[in-house]
Amino acid sequence: MPCLRLAAPIMLAMALAFAASAAPAQKAVPLPPGMDSPAPLQPGDAFGEELTLPERTIVYLKGHSNWDAAFDTLVDAFKSLNEYLDKQGIKPAGAAMTIYTETDDKGFSFEAAVPIAAAPTDPPKGDIAIGQPPSGKALKFVHRGSYDAMDSTYEAITNYLDDKHLEAKNVFIEEYVTDLLKTDVDHLMINVFVPVN
Q: What is the pLDDT of residues 105-116, one digit of tens each?
A: 888 899 999 999
User: Average model confidence (pLDDT) for the chain?
Assistant: 82
Q: What gap in Å lies between CA 180 and CA 189, rounded to an integer?
A: 9
Asked if 189 and 143 count as a contact pair (C-beta separation under 8 A), the reply is: yes
At 46 the pLDDT is 85
CB 124, CB 84: distance < 8 Å = yes
pLDDT at residue number 36: 64
Q: Please provide residue 153's backbone torsions phi and psi, each rounded to the nearest 5 degrees.
A: -65, -45
Check if the beta carbon of residue 128 is closer than 8 Å to that of residue 113: no
Confidence of residue 58 (pLDDT cuts 50, 70, 90): very high
All structural domains of the chain: 3-24+46-118+125-195 (3.20.80.10)
Q: Is the dihedral of CA 118, 123, 126, 131 positive or negative?
A: positive
Inform me whether the pLDDT recorded for 31 exceeds 50: no
